[in-house]
């Protein structure tokens, strides 16, 4: 009997959508699509989610694409309309792949978000019909799974889609926040199980996206991993929150609220407005709050902590994710916006995070509780040179590495991937699709650590003599392809260790700086894979450049080079605060930090912990001396708003020994 009820519900939904489509589109026959009834209705309902009556467009009609007999929505021409067609269409419309009329699924003469929505609808409808048939035909025993679609298919009984083990309803109406229009077509789950939220423009109107759990969730720890939150337009808001009637709300938002100068990180507890703002760094982020009857505590990437006490002893409520426009304002850059939620996890109770198989991550997180987290969101970056091989291939060494990162407060890793010495050995880690990198980066991101590809150094002539045939290009192209194929486990940036040459073809530092500037500006930033560049993938470009005191370097040449980068790492090796500051300041005619401050370029101060002269390295001074100087650097450089934090060089020696046990 229950099975029959579900069939009736599906049929009623089909009938309602059919009638609504005929009314809105002024008598355009659904039958004109030229496919079977289930696909017809799906296409109509999906287009309706994006197109308002005054928005133009319409339901697609039967078309010839040069090959007769293809199903509507079968973009990749394999005879099946599925999630692969959605991904293929997205690549076509995004300009990453050439496309023809096959991208015009709804027949309005264009390839745009409405066509993606149409194919999403076809896939969803096929799942609904399959589900109804399964309920009708199967004899379902008590307690047996009755055909709920597996996680990652983007569909679920009881909700519009499934993500991270939960059923979610999408939104399709008009209203707050921001008095926006909302479209269910702006939320979908891709073939690898990641949730996409998109603000799209249709016929000159902007449509926002929101999902809400079917189930109410209560006290516990809520964790999201998100890509794209750091690069949002000033008028775009990403919300991750719990909400109930009466204004009860626990909220994490990435937004600048219409002002480029405002911090883009926000924690808020309502209805009594208690809030904190902070600045998000570049790359993907892990956002988290823990809610109990006593209060709420927040963190981002394991830092940026804040908590409130009392006033939150509420009943369970739905969890939401939305992407919307502040006060309904169009994006100031005029572009559609998308973020990818690669993970969501709810743990009831106090919310101690489970470890991975074998308990390795659990061990790390226990140790983090005792670790010193220095600064307020400052970068703590760690170089990884030859040790990268063991970290990627040896499980126990990888465990040790993450313990060291946790205890040293590391949130950024610069990991060797390539150099200029015609050495392509590490390309083998990309040969199998990058599975080792993918597992490593997923694990790092889950611990709030960004992974950047490290290139070093430029003492050879390869990259400067001919960038287009250099090993650098080989590696950059491999990384662009890897990021394209693994949107949920991307390299967050490229870090270049640039050594002065002062000999050979480039016999002055100024000439070298000019050549390197040309490499970055005229080559690196233009290389692309499927239309995606370093910048369009959101990767940070960072630079280490070792100007030593007494070197005759023009300020103009050095400044022109560093302007090509998002972050500059100042080599100022010394084993006490006075020598660090003296070396940082004495390298050029004025302090490099002061120059970067004037140019608005973030910078870090680098400290040496490996083999070097005793007055340069902390290897002989010990962990305590290092942490004391780190604290002093944080205090001293806090006068500079562009001060981003500290880099440690490098993992293999002291850091591995001091922090991994």
User: Looking at per-residue confidence, does 71 or 493 come out higher?
Assistant: 493
User: Looking at per-residue confidence, does 534 or 193 come out higher?
Assistant: 534
Per DSSP, the three-state class of 418 is strand
Confidence of residue 37 (pLDDT cuts 50, 70, 90): very low
Residue 182's pLDDT is 93
User: Is 414's pLDDT higher than 90?
Assistant: yes
Residue 516's pLDDT is 86
Give dist(CA 217, CA 525) in Å, integer: 45
Give dist(CA 50, CA 169) in Å, integer: 16
Residue 142's pLDDT is 35
Residue 12's pLDDT is 37
Other Cβ atoms less than 10 A from the Cβ of 541: the count is 20
209-236: average pLDDT: 94
Residue 288's pLDDT is 94
Residue 547's pLDDT is 60
Residue 578's pLDDT is 78
The structure's pTM equals: 0.47
User: Looking at per-residue confidence, does 569 or 586 come out higher?
Assistant: 569
267-295: average pLDDT: 89
Most confident stretch, 5-19, 357-371, 546-560: 546-560
136-142: average pLDDT: 37
∠ CA(298), CA(301), CA(304), 5° rounding? 50
Residue 447's pLDDT is 87
User: Is 38's pLDDT higher than 50?
Assistant: no
Q: Angle, nearest 10°, between helix axes 113-137 and 37-50?
A: 140
Beta strands in 419-521 (DSSP E): 450-456, 493-498
Left if phi > 0, otherwise alpha if psi is -120 to 50, otherwise beta: which for 527? beta
The residue whose two tokens read 């194929």 is 485
Ranges 63-72, 157-166, 196-205, 287-296: which has the least confidence: 63-72
Give dist(CA 390, CA 504) in Å, integer: 35
Give dist(CA 442, CA 491) in Å, integer: 10
Residue 235's pLDDT is 96
Confidence of residue 247 (pLDDT cuts 50, 70, 90): confident
Tell me the C-alpha to C-alpha distance, in Å, between residue 254 and each of 159, 229, 322, 535: 26, 6, 11, 20
Q: What is the mean pLDDT of the chain?
A: 74
Residue 301's pLDDT is 86
For the chain, give every residue range classified as CATH 2.60.120.200: 161-348
Confidence of residue 505 (pLDDT cuts 50, 70, 90): low
Residue 425's pLDDT is 59
For strands 285-292 and 220-227, give the pairing: antiparallel
Ranges 129-138, 198-207, 598-607: which has the least confidence: 129-138
Confidence of residue 450 (pLDDT cuts 50, 70, 90): very high
Confidence of residue 121 (pLDDT cuts 50, 70, 90): low
Give dist(CA 546, CA 80) in Å, integer: 56
User: Is 353's pLDDT higher than 60?
Assistant: no
Nearest to 650 by CA among 618, 625, 622, 621: 618
Residues 6+ apart with CB under 8 A from 497: 454, 455, 456, 457, 458, 544
Virtual CA dihedral for 595, 601, 602, 603, nearest 10 degrees? -40
∠ CA(655), CA(658), CA(659), 5° rounding? 80
User: Is 170's pLDDT higher than 90?
Assistant: yes
For the domain covering 377-659, report its CATH number: 3.20.20.80
Fold of 161-348: Jelly Rolls (2.60.120)
User: Is 71's pLDDT higher than 80?
Assistant: no
Ranges 140-149, 181-190, 252-261, 423-432: which has the least confidence: 140-149
- Residue 649 DSSP label: E
Share of the chain above pLDDT 90, in %: 33
Residue 405 backbone dihedrals phi, psi, to 5 degrees? -60, -45
User: Looking at per-residue confidence, does 235 or 48 come out higher?
Assistant: 235
For the chain, give every residue range classified as CATH 3.20.20.80: 377-659
Nearest to 107 by CA among 66, 72, 71, 70: 72
User: Is 413's pLDDT higher than 80?
Assistant: yes
Confidence of residue 88 (pLDDT cuts 50, 70, 90): low
Contact (CB, 8 A) for 646 and 378: yes
- DSSP labels, 333-361: T---EEEEEEEEEEEETT-PPPP-TTSHH
């Amino acid at each position: 009997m229950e099975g029959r009820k579900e069939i009736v519900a599906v049929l009623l939904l089909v009938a309602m959508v059919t009638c609504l489509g005929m009314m809105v589109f002024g008598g355009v026959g659904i039958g004109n699509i030229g496919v079977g009834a289930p696909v017809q209705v799906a296409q109509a309902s999906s287009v309706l989610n994006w197109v308002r009556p005054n928005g133009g467009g319409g339901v697609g009609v039967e078309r010839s694409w040069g090959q007769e007999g293809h199903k509507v929505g079968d973009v990749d021409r394999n005879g099946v309309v599925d999630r692969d067609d959605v991904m293929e269409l997205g690549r076509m419309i995004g300009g990453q792949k050439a496309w023809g009329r096959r991208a015009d699924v709804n027949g309005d003469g264009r390839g745009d978000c409405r066509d993606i929505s149409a194919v999403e609808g076809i896939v969803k409808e096929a799942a609904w019909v399959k589900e109804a048939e399964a309920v009708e035909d199967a004899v379902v025993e008590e307690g047996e799974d009755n055909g709920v679609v597996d996680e990652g298919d983007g569909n679920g009984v009881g909700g519009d889609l499934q993500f991270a083990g939960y059923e979610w309803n999408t939104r399709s109406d008009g209203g707050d926040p921001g008095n926006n229009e909302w479209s269910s077509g702006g939320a979908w789950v891709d073939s690898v199980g990641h949730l996409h939220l998109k603000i799209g423009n249709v016929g000159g109107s902007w449509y926002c996206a929101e999902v809400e759990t079917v189930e109410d969730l209560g006290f516990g720890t809520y964790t999201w991993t998100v890509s794209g939150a750091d690069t949002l337009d000033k008028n775009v808001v990403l919300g991750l929150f719990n909400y109930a009637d009466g204004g009860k709300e626990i909220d994490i938002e990435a937004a600048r609220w219409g002002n480029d100068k405002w911090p883009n990180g926000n924690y808020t507890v309502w209805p009594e407005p208690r809030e904190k703002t902070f600045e998000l760094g570049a790359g993907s982020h892990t956002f988290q709050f823990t809610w109990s009857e006593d209060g709420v505590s927040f963190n981002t990437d394991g830092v940026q902590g804040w908590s409130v006490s009392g006033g939150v002893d509420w009943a369970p409520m739905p969890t939401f994710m939305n992407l919307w426009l502040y006060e309904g304002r169009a994006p100031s850059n005029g572009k559609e916006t998308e973020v990818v939620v690669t993970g969501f996890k709810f743990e009831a109770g106090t919310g101690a995070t489970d470890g991975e198989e074998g308990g390795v991550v659990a061990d790390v997180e226990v140790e983090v509780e005792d670790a010193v987290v220095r600064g307020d969101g400052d970068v703590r970056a760690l170089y990884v040179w030859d040790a990268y091989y063991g970290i990627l291939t040896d499980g126990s060494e990888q465990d040790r590495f993450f313990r060291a990162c946790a205890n040293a407060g590391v949130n950024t890793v610069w990991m060797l991937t390539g150099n200029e010495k015609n050495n392509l050995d590490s390309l083998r880690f990309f040969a199998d699709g990058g599975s080792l990198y993918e597992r490593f980066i997923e694990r790092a991101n889950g611990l709030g650590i960004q992974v950047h590809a490290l290139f070093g150094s430029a003492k050879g002539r390869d990259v400067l003599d001919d960038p287009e045939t250099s090993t650098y290009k080989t590696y950059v192209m491999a990384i662009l392809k890897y990021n394209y194929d693994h949107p949920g486990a991307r390299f967050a940036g490229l870090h270049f260790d640039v050594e002065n040459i002062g000999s050979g073809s480039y016999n002055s530092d100024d000439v070298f700086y000019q050549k390197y500037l040309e490499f970055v500006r005229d080559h690196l930033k233009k290389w692309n894979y499927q239309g995606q560049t370093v910048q369009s993938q959101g990767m940070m470009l960072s630079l280490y450049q070792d100007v030593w005191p007494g070197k005759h370097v023009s300020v103009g040449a050095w400044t022109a080079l560093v302007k090509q980068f998002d972050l500059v790492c100042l080599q100022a090796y010394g084993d006490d605060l006075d020598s660090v500051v003296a070396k940082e300041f004495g390298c050029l005619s004025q302090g490099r930090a002061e120059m970067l401050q004037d140019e608005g370029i973030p910078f870090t101060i680098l400290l040496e912990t490996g083999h070097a002269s005793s007055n340069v390295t902390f290897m002989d001074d010990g962990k305590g001396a290092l942490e004391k100087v780190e604290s002093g650097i944080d205090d001293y450089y806090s006068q500079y708003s562009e001060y981003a934090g500290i880099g440690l060089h490098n993992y293999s020696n002291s850091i591995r020994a001091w922090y991994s046990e």
